[in-house]
Amino acid sequence: MSELHYQVDLLKAMNQKLSGRERMYRLVCDNTANAFLYCSFERNEIATLGKWKDFFSFEVSDIRDMAHLFEEVDDPYVVPLREALFAEKSGKESAVVECMRRDRKQWLKFQVRIVYDESGQPTDKIISIEDITKFKSQNDELAYMAYYDELTGLYNRNYFVRELAGLIRKAAETNAAVSVMIIDIDDFKKVNDGLGIVVGDELIQQFGSFLKELTDHDVIASHFTSDLYCIAIYDPVGTKSVEHIHRQIRTRTREAFRLSSGHALQITVSIGVAEYPEAASSALELINCAEIVMFKGKNMGKNTIQYFDTPILNEFIHNIEIENKLKEAVFYNNFLLYYQPQFYAGNKKLRGVEALIRWKDGNNGMISPSVFIPIAEKNGAIIPIGSWVVERSIEQYARWSRQYGKHFILSINISALQCGKEDFVDSILGMIKKYDVQPSEIELEITESILIDDFEAVSSKLKLLRKHGIRISLDDFGTGFSSLSYLKKLPIDTLKIDKSFIDTVLTDSPTRIITESIINMVKTLGFESVAEGVEAEQQYRYLHAVGCDVIQGYLLGKPQTAEDIERLLQEA
């Protein structure tokens, strides 16, 4: 009897222990966010656990009920789900499948695990079901971000380059061509600066959407950065040719873009075109070639389409050669300064000299600053070169004024990059102090391009320099955006009328009218006018007659060495 009691107690204890375990498992299951399905093959038993009821409105009490699960998922996922749920049929230990629900609102992840006995027979199966909708949508977003540009919905640069590389590979196999068009909105900076980036962004977005309409299987488009877009065309012919797309762009840009701010903006674009295999054989090189010609077109006056060809390539290579040699020239300081005298038109007395850099190249003789200064501006070499010009010319001027006791004006050309440097004002003031010259004897020549990027910042630097007595001269007037109305906002003392006006002033009546009105306006504003590139006596006489203050040009003095200028100073 006691033996029986003992057995009963033992059973009770075991049951308690078992129900304690079961409670524990239940608790664990119920506290996860997942639903579980458990099958015992040995006992032919099936049970649902965890958050089953949150996922499904049916119960599974028989193995056949599992078929209801297939009704829960969207059609394409039925077969993969069946394979996963019955993974034991192919002897697998586990399987995972992600399925979209039939209502397309939820993603479910099924993880299946099979337990086998020693003889290889399946004994148990556990299926865990998880809601991965959130994770999926984050992933979709990440995938979107990896391929697309958020603002325009066009491909982003990285993905575009990959796709373009694919088109080039395909073209190599099929002997086809691939055209690349780089498209840049002209004067976009003015929109952004003038109307704000929200308006700028909307313009970029609208133009991007328009480009998207031009795409199809063989025409892909990307938004690179800011106002720069790229289109690639595989096997360009007919309606998917550069010419056709260019025509569509022209037609669209003839009409204004209507923005939600109420602005109606009419734009023009500059386009550069390069074609595989002619221009380059890799995606990046091809884009680069198109970009080179696009910028060339921009420099030539915007609203253009430029095609990459051999002369351009040669010019490009030539520029690269110059660029490399320029680095050497900066290192060995193979530069010297020439000075071109300027004379008052009235009495032909020396008004000053303009310092003009010269580059002595061992093989090629002198290389013109018109060739290397633009390159130096692009690669940053203008910074050391410019500092050298400032210091050497001021040092030279100080020596002259000590030696000859004469005071005149030293004009120094300043590039945008130089002016943009934070210590620009201090470095100029530092040199004036170091060589003990009068600030009013130093004149800095700037061009309008200096003002394009950041009018306010540059303008305040120039104002500061003027406060210290330094003169500011606007060089090459008439070649930039030359709006007469903005002149009065500029802190300048002198305006130099570009040589291109002087060249035709006697023969072309519109030029004459413009030149005279510039001279009159300069007078009204209280500036001094300088005519550049005066080569003929008649030009001089005419300019003098219409009231131009100062004459600079080959007629009265070419750019010359410091020694030649000394002779001039002795005579004067």
| 304/447 with CB nearer ligand C2E | 447
What are the counts of helices (DSSP H) followed by strands (DSSP E) for the chain? Answer: 22, 21
Residue in 39, 497, 559, 565 binding ligand C2E, rule: CB under 6 A: 559
DSSP code string of 495-534:
EEEPHHHHHHTTT-HHHHHHHHHHHHHHHHHT-EEEE---
Query: Closest separation between CB of residue 267 and ligand C2E, Å?
Result: 30
DSSP code string of 360-425:
EETTTEEE-HHHHHHHHHHHSTHHHHHHHHHHHHHHHHHHHHHHH----EEEEE--HHHHHSTTHH
Residue in 156, 253, 340, 413 binding Mg ion, rule: CB under 5 A: 413
Query: Closest separation between CB of residue 358 and ligand C2E, Å?
Result: 7
Residue in 200, 236, 297, 553 binding ligand C2E, rule: CB under 6 A: 553
- The reply to whether 356 sits near ligand C2E by the rule CB under 6 A is yes
| 443/532 with CB nearer ligand C2E | 532
Piece in contact with Mg ion (CB under 5 A), picked from 1-9, 171-179, 206-214, 473-481: 473-481
Residues 364, 366, 367, 373, Cα dihedral to 10°: 150
CA distance 157 to 148: 8
Piece in contact with Mg ion (CB under 5 A), picked from 174-182, 375-383, 432-440, 474-482: 474-482
SS3 annotation, 299-324: HCCCCCEEECCHHHHHHHHHHHHHHH
| 279/414 with CB nearer ligand C2E | 414
Query: Closest separation between CB of residue 368 and ligand C2E, Å?
Result: 5
- The reply to whether 389 sits near ligand C2E by the rule CB under 6 A is yes
Residue in 98, 476, 528, 549 binding Mg ion, rule: CB under 5 A: 476
Residue in 16, 19, 368, 517 binding ligand C2E, rule: CB under 6 A: 368
Residue in 72, 445, 448, 528 binding Mg ion, rule: CB under 5 A: 445
- The reply to whether 227 sits near Mg ion by the rule CB under 5 A is no
The answer to whether 25 and 47 have CB atoms below 8 angstroms apart is: no
**Site string (528-547) toward ligand C2E, x via CB under 6 A:** ----xxxx------------
Q: Which of 342, 369, 375, 371 is nearest to 356 (CA)?
A: 369
- The reply to whether 431 sits near ligand C2E by the rule CB under 6 A is no
Piece in contact with ligand C2E (CB under 6 A), picked from 76-84, 174-182, 280-288, 350-358: 350-358
From Mg ion, ligand C2E, none, which one binds at residue 415 (CB under 5 to 8 Å depending on kind)?
A: ligand C2E
The answer to whether 68 and 55 have CB atoms below 8 angstroms apart is: no
CA distance 342 to 93: 93
SS3 annotation, 25-88: HHHHHHCCCCEEEEEECCCCEEEEEECHHHHCCCCCCCHHHHHHHHHHECHHHHHHHHHHHCHH
CA distance 563 to 410: 16
By CB under 6 A, how many residues form the interface with ligand C2E?
24
- The reply to whether 476 sits near ligand C2E by the rule CB under 6 A is yes
Residue in 304, 319, 396, 413 binding ligand C2E, rule: CB under 6 A: 413
From ligand C2E, Mg ion, none, which one binds at residue 341 (CB under 5 to 8 Å depending on kind)?
A: none
| 313/506 with CB nearer ligand C2E | 506
What part of residues 532-551 is at the interface with Mg ion (CB under 5 A)? 532
Q: Which of 562, 551, 482, 561 is nearest to 514 (CA)?
A: 482
Residue in 72, 377, 475, 549 binding Mg ion, rule: CB under 5 A: 475
Identity (one letter) of the amino acid at 337? Answer: L
- The reply to whether 97 sits near ligand C2E by the rule CB under 6 A is no
Q: Which of 66, 64, 68, 143 is nearest to 102 (CA)?
A: 68
22 alpha carbon, distance to own chain's centre: 63
CA atoms within 13 A on the CB side of 481: 13
Query: Closest separation between CB of residue 416 and Mg ion, Å?
Result: 14
Q: Which of 182, 278, 169 is nearest to 225 (CA)?
A: 182
Residue in 69, 267, 373, 505 binding ligand C2E, rule: CB under 6 A: 373
**Site string (344-363) toward Mg ion, x via CB under 5 A:** --------------------
| 179/413 with CB nearer ligand C2E | 413
DSSP annotation of 132 reads -
From Mg ion, ligand C2E, none, which one binds at residue 272 (CB under 5 to 8 Å depending on kind)?
A: none
By 3-state DSSP, what share of the chain in percent is helix, strand and coil, each rounded to 5? Answer: 50, 25, 25
109 alpha carbon, distance to own chain's centre: 42
- 359 DSSP β-pair partners: 335, 367
Q: Which residues of the chain form contacts with Mg ion (CB under 5 A)?
A: 413, 445, 475-476, 532
Q: Which residues of the chain form contacts with ligand C2E (CB under 6 A)?
A: 340, 355-357, 368-370, 373, 386, 389, 413-415, 445, 475-476, 532-535, 552-554, 559
